[in-house]
Every structure is written in structure tokens, then in C-alpha cells.
Chains A and B, each alone.
Chain A
Amino acid sequence: MFKHYKNGIAILILLFLLSVVLIACNSDTDEAESEEPDNTEETEDPVEEETDDGAEEEEEEPASDEPQSGGTLTGAMDTAPAGVFNPIFYEEAYEDNILAFTHESLLSQNENLGFEANLAKDWTINDDNTEITLTLEEGVTWHDGEPFTAEDVVYTYKAMASPGYVEAGGVRTEYVVRLVGYEAFNSGETDEFEGVVVEDDYTVTFKYTEPNVTILKDVAFPIIPEHIFGDVPVAEIPSHPATLNAGEVIGTGPFVFSEMLEREQYVLTKNADYWKAEPYLDQIVWRIVDQSVMLGLLENGEIDFIADPNGVPAADYETVAALDHIEIIEQTDFGYQLMGFKTNHRTDADVESGTIEPDNWVPNEDMSEQLVRQAFAYAIDRQAIVDNLLYGHGSVINAPIAQQFWAYDESAVTAYEYDPEKANSLLDEAGYVDTNDDGLRETPDGEEWVVNINYPTGNQLREASAPILAQFIEEVGVQVDLRQPKEMTAYVEDLTNDNTDWDIYLIGWSLGSGDPDPSGLWKSEAAYNFGRWNNPESDQLMLEAMQAPEAFDQDYRAEKYSEWQSVFSEDLPALLLYAQNKIYGFNERLNGVAPMPYGFINDPHLWWVSE
């Protein structure tokens, strides 16, 4: 090491002397001469380079404090947006990458996921949380120069409550169903929507039929312009030019969606009149780049950042980290992968009619045994999966609430650390022992016991985890039937119509950052409760956590969720495998980046590039 260092210095001196000689010799042939020293510098020792870098940094330092205006930034995503650039109709994360620059909500979420002022500067909520009155920022204009007013807010919610909204392809009804007068307006009985009311140009009131625990989340939906869509029938909004075409999509955000080369490039140009402050960047260009080429382009500087929804693959982390000009931000994703147990199955009749009625469910033998589920949890080394499949870029979680939420409580849950001994003893205790000495456990009735595992294709990590899980379970003496993976759409159909023989299923969820309420996935009647887990205590706790007036107090909710998490963790309807990390990679010339827990794009008007 030291020797190399010495050699390096020697070579350096030699090269320096040589270049001096060369300069002296060739002082007349200036072209060749000016190139020579450059070349020698490149071949020089790292020591020299370090001092070089140091000098550059010093030079750049004053510049890097002071944001510079101008410049273009290029981002990459691996799949093109479907092309519906309208907050009330889009459904994919890829559109999000455009709409996050162009549209804004009344409230935004801070790094602790609390709601704070955005287009609304102030708000008051009445005592029983049925009404919220928001005061809007004045002087905000749409990209086309029209003023932003309370009418736009009313219009946005009214559009989502209109009859025909769902039929036209909209899915965001969760934001409006609880508003006063939704039923009457949606069924077409009346033209008046009482749920959202204009007080004056810059004041708007939302009225809910019931006390609303998640009132702030419900008013934080991106606003669309009334003066553009006001006269358009809701069924025509998805195919309206202001929804589809670059240059015609109008929002209030810091960037204007100005040009596109469909499925290849999406150009956002700065909105010089942005109400918060003029953005530093002139342009942000999204390029659609194949996953396999993305890192190469990041390396050679053709693209500047890789962010949501997929980020840098965990397997490539080291490669990207080794690039000097690329910075990495890593944070936990909302969402998790799980190994679910089909504790119950529905009856044929219920599947046929689409009813979800826990009273009719048929317990799935063996999987309905709590001890068996716990034993499987102990049998699986999840940390090893995180370390090897995710290269350590993820975490083992034990409760189905995103770790970023105030509601997540690690202390309330059983950790289920890898313990095959314990798994064996739990299975013995449950009566699943090897009675015929074939090395495999039989059911308590002495019958052959085979546990089937079903999983979908599409997510490579999940696909890779299935055989590993099967192996872990086999190691505690259980015969496993690892079924052929199915394509996602076909898989979901089988998962939903669960009058089958399924025991274990794999699935992943990406969760919203708005509110931690887990009832949409784990309540017994919830359609997405694919395990058909039926635990009255869990249902009760989730209900209480959302029940007014106690639930207005976040601490109270946190307490209920903590209890719920311990119930979940003990009864274990599903073993949560891992929460993956988001890995954002960006060129060091990009400054001012401050990702939020839920996304990379935050205050892009403060982003700037140093050239």
C-alpha cells in the first residue's frame, strides 16, 4: 500500500518533468502541446486526483450555496404513463411523476406525514369534525393565467361525486362518499351538491355526514380547474384535450406540462408565475428508458435521476454507489410483501354471488390453527431474505402498518425471529407430528399433510422468495407443494374467488401515506382480506380507532392501533416478509432535493443544477 503510494509519487514527478520537457520542446506546435499535459494528468496517481477534486470543491463551494437559475434536468422512468393527466381520473404511479409537478392540493404532507398548508393557508374544523373551512391562498393562478378560487375546489369534488364519474373510469370516490348530499347528487336526484360549499372567493367549507377522523386527508386532493372542465360532461373529461394533451393540461404547480413525445419523452417547463417562488430550473424532461439501460445512461450523464416508482434496483446499489458523480438517497417504502394464510374459504355460493359474509365461511383446516401459523413464522428467516434477496436494502416488519406512521408500534408485536426449534415445538404442540417416520409431519388425525403455496409472477423478488419460503417450511418437516406461479391477473382472480384449496398466498401491497387505517385490507369483510381472516377483536379495535369523538385524539388512535397490531401479530393472518427500500439515485449536479417519505418529488421549484 505504502509502496504503491511512493511509486505513485515517483511516477507523478516523472510525468510532471516529462510534460515540462515536452512543453519546452514543442512550444511551437501548440495544438499537440496543449493536449499532452491533459493526458498525463489523467493517467496520474489517485493522490493527485484527490487534491484536484479538493481544489475544485473549494472553487465550487461559493456556487453551491447559491442556487442558480436555469438548466434542464432529465429524469428516467421505466414505463410510460398511460396518458391520462388528470388527477381525478389517472390510476398509475407513472402519471404521478408528471402530475406531482403540475397539480397541487389544498394541503400537503410534511416529513412526519402531518398535514400542512399548501393551496389552503389556514383552516378551522368544527367541534365534532363534520365541517372544515379552509382559507385559500390569494393570488394563485392557473397555468393559463386564470385565478385559482374556491370555485375550483368545489368543482373538483363535485366532479368526483357526479353521476357517471365511476362509469367514466374514475376510482377516487373515497374522497367524496362521506360528504353531505353525496347520495342525492350522485343518484341524479338533485343538481345541487351540498357537500362542498363556496363561502367567498377564497373560503371553502367541506361538510361531512358523520364526524370525520381523516378530515385533513380527505380535503387534500389535487385541484383541477373549473374554468376548463366546468362545462364538460364528466363522461367526456377522460378524453378531453385538457386531460390528454401536453400544453393543454392546466394546474397550479411549479411546472407546466408543455410537450410530449408520447411514450418517450414528457417535458415540463417552469411556471415562471408560480405562487410560491419562481422555479430555478427551466425544464424537467422525463425520458422513458428501459430498466436494463437506465444505469448506463445515469452513469454517462444522459439522465440525471432515477426515482419513483421503482428507483434503483437493490441489486445495482453497489454499482451506483461506486459512481462518483451519483448521490443516493435510500428510504423505506410504504408497503410490504406478505405471506398470507388462507384461514377461511368462502362457499361456492358466496363466490358465485360475490358476497363476503364471514358467518358463512368454512375454516381452512390446518391453516386456521394459530399455532401452525406461528410455527411457520418462526421457521422462516426473514432477515436472511432481506439480506440476500434485497441485498440488505429493506427491513423486516411485524405489523401491517407502514413504519413511517405514528401508528406503527414495534413494541406491541412479537418479532418472530428465526427459530426452527421453536417452530418444531409449536407444531408438535399443535399435534402435527411425524407418525409414520417418513420425515414429514402428519395432521393430528394422522393423515398426510401437504401445504400448498401459491404466488404470482410480475415481481421478480417475490417470485424468487417463493421457493426459499417453501424450503424454510420444509425444513421443519412440513411437506410443501410449491405451485406453478400464475400471471398476476389470473392469480388475482383465483385469490379473490377463494372457494379453492389454497393454503398460503403471496402478495404485496403499496399503501397510501394519507392515513394508517388498515381496515381496508384486514377487516373481516374487506374484499382485500384475501386470507378471510375473521377476528372480532381485530375488527372491534379497527372500528374504535376510527370512531368519533375519541379518535380525534391521535394518541388515542395510536393506542388502539398498537393494541390491534399486537392482536394481528399474535393471531398472525399473514407473515409480513419485508418492506423494501426505495433507492433514489441522482447526479450530483442536482441540488435542493428533499424527498418526502412518500415520494421523491417535493418542492421541485427549489431544485437547481450546478453546471
Chain B
Amino acid sequence: MPELAAELLECERNGRVLFSGLGFSLQPGQILMLEGRNGSGKTSLLRILCGIRLPDAGLVSWGGEDIFKLGPDYHEHVSYVGHRDGVKQDLTPRENLRIARAMGKPNPDVEIEDVLEFFDLYDLDDVPTRTLSAGQQRRLALGRLLVTRATLWLLDEPFTSLDRHGIDRFEKLMQEHGEAGGMVALTTHHRVALPDTKRINLSS
């Protein structure tokens, strides 16, 4: 499985340099925590790794190739959960997951029912998402990670609005994903109880 590598990344916002000369790599099975104060550019970095945002200098590569040249061929390996949940409020959870599945490379081993079950959304399956609580909507967004065959999870504050039980559950899920050879890069303010995570601090 290819690795994700960043070389000499620079990002500026409104003329202010958030970070520069940033380099790291992420191998299969690794979990990477991006740390730093508010406004240090964690979200921007994640968006650069996604390929949504252009870095002002430097290169992000997947298996040695520039992700901006790979385009969709890179995105089939990536699943991103950002600040905004990316779920349609007027659709039911099941409809939302079905769309997420079609947009990526569907994972044939996982049924949408199982994902709903896993995230305790099964009973809420036929109501519009807007009637769900914030925590439930977040769980639905995280459910997207499982319906495609994405190996690289990019997560921006995934624990927001989750309760203790949800957090434990999702930590375990990330760990299993890593053990199965997947990769995770995440930002969080929570203390995460994951063994051997790699850390990068953008503030220092």
C-alpha cells in the first residue's frame, strides 16, 4: 500500500504564513495526530492533504506521485470528515450513506445496515437527518468512513459532539483501521488513548 508524504509544505492565509517547510510521511498502519493552538493551520493542513486546498509551496504525494496530478485516483483512497458534516439535512441517514458510497469506491464487505447499527442510528433510519442530535449527525458523518474502501482517513475534530461512549467506540475503530493497514490523520483537542501515534505540532 502506498504511503502519504508531505515535503516542504507552506501555507499562508491572508498574507500570514501559518507553517512552512513542513515535511512528514504516513505509512500504512500509522495514526498521525496534528496538534497546535487555534489558528495554527491544522484544518488548512488537513485540507491540503485532502487535495481540496493548494499548498502555497511544497508537495503532497501518494505513492510517490503528486496528489493534484492523481486527482480522482487519489481520492478513491481518501475519506474526509471535516468541520461540516457533509450530510444533507433533508435526507434520511440511509440515503446519505448510500450517496457517500456511490461517490467513492464502494466497500462490498460492508452493508449500510451494519454501519447504521454500529453507530446506533438504525432506529433513526427513516427520519430526515435534520431531526437528529448533533452527536448523532456526527456519527452519521463518521459512518461515511466505512461505506467506501478508503484507506486514508482524514479527520478534522472527529470527536466533536460525541459522548464518552461514542468516543471510546470511535477510538477503537481507528485503532482497528490502523491494524488492518489503514492510515489516519486527525486533529483533536481531546486526549486520545491510542498507543503509538505519531505527532506533529504546528505551533512549535
- The answer on A and B forming one complex is no
Question: Which A residues are within 8 Å of any B CB, using their own CB?
Answer: none
